Structure 1
């Protein structure tokens, strides 16, 4: 692992942006901008399904709970319902404002939370974690604002619900001041939850625990990315909770880590507003990632810093995925200063070739197309042209069952980005006579002690260069001759392929024997070539399984020298 640099957390004063404590909000004030009102109305959607998912049979153990999509009642679904409902009950723009019926359902869900909470204050994430402090923190993050929204809603009969939520939250606080974590981001989620609890019910133990986690420093690498590299999931979450911590503890130096990540993320944006996810270490790896969860951080710091690039990112997010922003509406409502008009936009970077070596990523973008190169990844290249997406380029050879190519690093050599790998396939001689186990137990005769012979080698060199309106990828596989090679161009499902031939027996597999092929999605089109089909063994032994996506194959034998262009 490359050595990481860390942001030191000190104790300096908070900056000039006025912040309103979220325990004193007034949602009846006529100052909401239209985008907030639009999100409140979007938040109203889906309640009928949640009502149908609530267990109303008083004989059931999980009475009051909300079931998830797999019919499992759980704290997370129930807490989500409470958080969503609290927003609706507190805002006059909602059709459910001060609804007695909705409040009754919230009260049942709140009582379920108390029943599901363990004596130590923890809750379970039934899909994987039990007696889990970090999952408790995730719930606190949503339910602490919900408590405030309900309190300020002045809904008739809200007091018993507030009492139940206060009990749940304070019990949760007891586990968070002593409980452990699993992953790096959990430290900051736990800390942010404790900050929110401290704003409601000040307790020096909460702050002491936050300071203890902060002693570990923020795990930010020189590229501006956090350890988990989870651009589609945990990275924007970390940005948001770090802002919560910085505000709550008067530590504005923490904002520097968020700024560095936001600056990096501007270079991870595809032309259609999606975000690069292929380098992630978490569940979002290779998924279609959108930017809605970055909105809070970009807007907060755009206003604080009067930063035009951050403002432009906000406007891009509003344009490309506004409905998804409703998932963070509680964060937008907590601080009315967040509603102020954004500064003017400054042009975002859209023409660059930039390496992020600590993340193992190279990004090339020229206007409406971009390419991502990845080290330590079999899908070592992606190419986006608007909504037409080559989601992975892979190559493998049937070389001793280990011929799937990936490169440990990406080097810049002149105008090319170069990826390499070298494999060997040895055979082994009889075991040294004086070391043979008398029982013939092979576990006691490791193969490393055998002499190698007939060693075969396979060298991969892949060079990526820019050409007019796109890129060229040059492949050179040499060493052992006559090895079958299969090159995969894996496209995003939903588009239309042209000038390719369906494979005789493999579903979603196509062969490129024509000079060029095409992939079209909506009004966007990728041209690719050149074609080569010397055999039809597209799934080679030792290669990764085919992806569930339309895949075009180019096939040959070593020595294999071939160029693929993408425009």
Structure 2
């Protein structure tokens, strides 16, 4: 017995497409201005899908065809002699052009099956695809996910215009192996690139190339992502190595992937995630085209499988732990790349947030620890160890050096020495040739993740340096029991405070085990966040925004911090 269709989902996808396509069809001859090539191709694909879909208000509309023709003309105008597209900071980029070619090829499949009314659109799409083929056959990439986007473009080109060279080149990339780790995370650890690039590319490749192993990789990634879904409908990003590591990312872009695999595998946990992804409505205009190209998306979901708290998950490869209960979701992170690479760099996991806590409307978005040690920046754990089921230890030791005179054999009469980097700064000092006296500073955080929050024990050892623990709460609540410093900033010197948002609250209790009394509100020189010289040398920062509460002092120190969620209704 076949699975019934989900007509409500298909209608929602059509309405989302119409919100983009209808204004274009209303002015079909209006030339687009300032629209990048990827946007132009997506417009064409959406217009053709709307023309094809009986659920769309533009079904069979000649104005949709005319608008698609106008957008295609603009797209062809930005295709260079190489077949690649102009625009963006990645100049003559095969992978950036692959994004566009993927939409061009999908639009070609839809248009080719629509009859003579779309014959000119079909021919124009074929010309654009043909012009790009040579450069995609030989072009390179510069990020991990680009390989799979480029492979998907090669496979789509082969689907419409069979050519064994396209398959051979795709297999050459695929022979490197999909960059998925033992926990099911891709190497970039990025929800943005997993949902927008890697997963859809691998799903397409699995279908076109008959590669079930690629489908299995996507299933593993989606299974891992289940434990990264937060109560506010976002996916955890603190561990990401890409741009999304500093901001929230909604679950919605995962909708077609969870939906497709839920239908094909019968997994109730994926069905639940698909429903969550659509809880805020279906807004992606591309979903309509996807339903036409992959009819399984239109089938009804299996029954969702509830997730019974409490749940614990430790993703060792990313240094990410979480505990979810009816009262709270707590996230602990110790997987930064900065301690190993000793730099802030695109492509590295740099976010210094090491704990987050969700308690309904009361949300502790970030806990960070700044130290005034040679301006080397905030605490980022170099090691994370699981001590017991819900207990972890995060550790980082920072080392800086003072350099002695060069040995006699290394000294130069002209006083000119090579410019070198000692990991903290650069100077014409030939650092590697000099004896060095090292100064070290160690920070250790032990965390016990409870059903209602977390107990922290923080040890700051080494020479006396100022430090500040920053707790950034999401706006919308009020700190009660903390002492104001200035606008948006408070401090806690002892005892407890509560952050209240509606009926929900997070209680913070602090106790000093060893060290001087904590700093008061008059010590703004201590009670502040310092991003470190990698940011400040260029006038930048990675500071949070929100309601910030500080604990701080002059180390060494040992203190305990208890974070407890109190709320009348469960997280769910």
Q: TM-score, normalised by structure 2?
A: 0.83
Match of 1:38 in 2: 12
8 Å Cα contact 1:226-1:235 kept in structure 2: no
Specify which of 516, 522, 528 is matched with residue 539 of structure 1.
Answer: 528
8 Å Cα contact 1:536-1:555 kept in structure 2: no
8 Å Cα contact 2:238-2:246 kept in structure 1: yes
Tell me how far apart the structure 1 counterparts of residues 109 and 64 of structure 2 sit (CA, whole Å). Answer: 17
Match of 1:135 in 2: 96
Q: Equivalent residues in 2 for 1:497-516 (5 A)?
A: 497-504=479-486, 507-513=487-493, 515-516=495-496
Q: Residues 231 and 475 of structure 1: is their aligned pair in 2 closer, same or farther, counting only changes over 3 Å?
A: same
**Residue 322 of structure 2 is aligned to residue 363 of structure 1:** yes
Q: Equivalent residues in 2 for 1:48-67 (5 A)?
A: 56=30, 64=31, 66-67=32-33
Match of 2:347 in 1: none
Instruction: Flag structure 2 segments of 5+ consecutive residues without an equivalent.
Output: 337-350, 419-427, 512-517, 536-540, 565-572
The alignment covers a number of residue pairs equal to: 521
Instruction: Using the TM superposition, name which of 524-533 and 200-209 deviates more.
Output: 524-533
Q: Residues 500 and 96 of structure 1: is their aligned pair in 2 closer, same or farther, counting only changes over 3 Å?
A: farther
Shift of residue 114, structure 1, vs aligned partner: 1.5
> SS where residue 128 of structure 1 aligns?
coil
Instruction: Using the TM superposition, name which of 349-358 and 131-140 deviates more.
Output: 349-358
Match of 1:144 in 2: 105
Match of 2:342 in 1: none
Instruction: Flag structure 1 segments of 5+ consecutive residues without an equivalent.
Output: 1-16, 19-29, 57-63
Shift of residue 239, structure 1, vs aligned partner: 1.7
8 Å Cα contact 2:101-2:132 kept in structure 1: yes
> SS where residue 510 of structure 1 aligns?
strand
Tell me how far apart the structure 2 counterparts of residues 113 and 445 of structure 1 sit (CA, whole Å). Answer: 54
**Residue 95 of structure 2 is aligned to residue 112 of structure 1:** no
8 Å Cα contact 2:28-2:64 kept in structure 1: no
8 Å Cα contact 2:315-2:321 kept in structure 1: yes
8 Å Cα contact 2:21-2:50 kept in structure 1: no
Q: Residues 523 and 172 of structure 1: is their aligned pair in 2 closer, same or farther, counting only changes over 3 Å?
A: farther
Q: Residues 329 and 284 of structure 1: is their aligned pair in 2 closer, same or farther, counting only changes over 3 Å?
A: farther
Match of 1:419 in 2: 394
8 Å Cα contact 2:325-2:451 kept in structure 1: no
8 Å Cα contact 2:268-2:305 kept in structure 1: yes
Tell me how far apart the structure 2 counterparts of residues 345 and 112 of structure 1 sit (CA, whole Å). Answer: 44
> SS where residue 83 of structure 1 aligns?
helix
Q: Residues 199 and 136 of structure 1: is their aligned pair in 2 closer, same or farther, counting only changes over 3 Å?
A: same
Specify which of 490, 501, 512 is matched with residue 472 of structure 2.
Answer: 490
8 Å Cα contact 2:51-2:59 kept in structure 1: yes
Shift of residue 410, structure 1, vs aligned partner: 0.8
Tell me how far apart the structure 2 counterparts of residues 310 and 268 of structure 1 sit (CA, whole Å). Answer: 13
Q: Equivalent residues in 2 for 1:233-252 (5 A)?
A: 233-235=193-195, 237-252=197-212
Tell me how far apart the structure 1 counterparts of residues 380 and 324 of structure 2 sit (CA, whole Å). Answer: 22
Q: Residues 148 and 431 of structure 1: is their aligned pair in 2 closer, same or farther, counting only changes over 3 Å?
A: closer
Q: Residues 549 and 48 of structure 1: is their aligned pair in 2 closer, same or farther, counting only changes over 3 Å?
A: farther
Shift of residue 430, structure 1, vs aligned partner: 3.9
Tell me how far apart the structure 1 counterparts of residues 524 and 97 of structure 2 sit (CA, whole Å). Answer: 53
Tell me how far apart the structure 2 counterparts of residues 166 and 385 of structure 1 sit (CA, whole Å). Answer: 53
Shift of residue 83, structure 1, vs aligned partner: 2.0
Q: Equivalent residues in 2 for 1:318-357 (5 A)?
A: 318-319=278-279, 321-348=280-307, 350-357=309-316
**Residue 454 of structure 2 is aligned to residue 471 of structure 1:** yes
Match of 2:189 in 1: 229
Shift of residue 335, structure 1, vs aligned partner: 2.3
Q: Residues 562 and 324 of structure 1: is their aligned pair in 2 closer, same or farther, counting only changes over 3 Å?
A: farther
8 Å Cα contact 1:529-1:565 kept in structure 2: yes
Specify which of 555, 560, 565 is matched with residue 558 of structure 1.
Answer: 555
8 Å Cα contact 1:232-1:291 kept in structure 2: no
Tell me how far apart the structure 1 counterparts of residues 127 and 197 of structure 2 sit (CA, whole Å). Answer: 26
Q: Residues 139 and 495 of structure 1: is their aligned pair in 2 closer, same or farther, counting only changes over 3 Å?
A: farther
Q: TM-score, normalised by structure 1?
A: 0.84
Specify which of 240, 249, 253 is matched with residue 289 of structure 1.
Answer: 249
The CA deviation string for residues 30-79 of structure 1, in whole angstroms up to 9 with x for no partner, is 966111112211222245765799994xxxxxxx3x34xxxx34212212
Tell me how far apart the structure 2 counterparts of residues 151 and 265 of structure 1 sit (CA, whole Å). Answer: 36
> SS where residue 410 of structure 1 aligns?
strand
Match of 1:8 in 2: none
Match of 2:133 in 1: 173
8 Å Cα contact 1:228-1:235 kept in structure 2: no
Q: Residues 497 and 50 of structure 1: is their aligned pair in 2 closer, same or farther, counting only changes over 3 Å?
A: farther
Instruction: Using the TM superposition, name which of 179-188 and 380-389 deviates more.
Output: 380-389
**Residue 430 of structure 2 is aligned to residue 446 of structure 1:** yes
Specify which of 390, 397, 420 is matched with residue 371 of structure 2.
Answer: 397
Q: Residues 435 and 169 of structure 1: is their aligned pair in 2 closer, same or farther, counting only changes over 3 Å?
A: closer
8 Å Cα contact 2:40-2:75 kept in structure 1: yes
> SS where residue 228 of structure 1 aligns?
coil
Shift of residue 332, structure 1, vs aligned partner: 2.5
Tell me how far apart the structure 2 counterparts of residues 452 and 199 of structure 1 sit (CA, whole Å). Answer: 62
Shift of residue 167, structure 1, vs aligned partner: 0.9
Q: Equivalent residues in 2 for 1:165-314 (5 A)?
A: 165-235=125-195, 237-314=197-274
Tell me how far apart the structure 1 counterparts of residues 548 and 504 of structure 2 sit (CA, whole Å). Answer: 18
Tell me how far apart the structure 1 counterparts of residues 109 and 53 of structure 2 sit (CA, whole Å). Answer: 12
8 Å Cα contact 2:455-2:563 kept in structure 1: yes
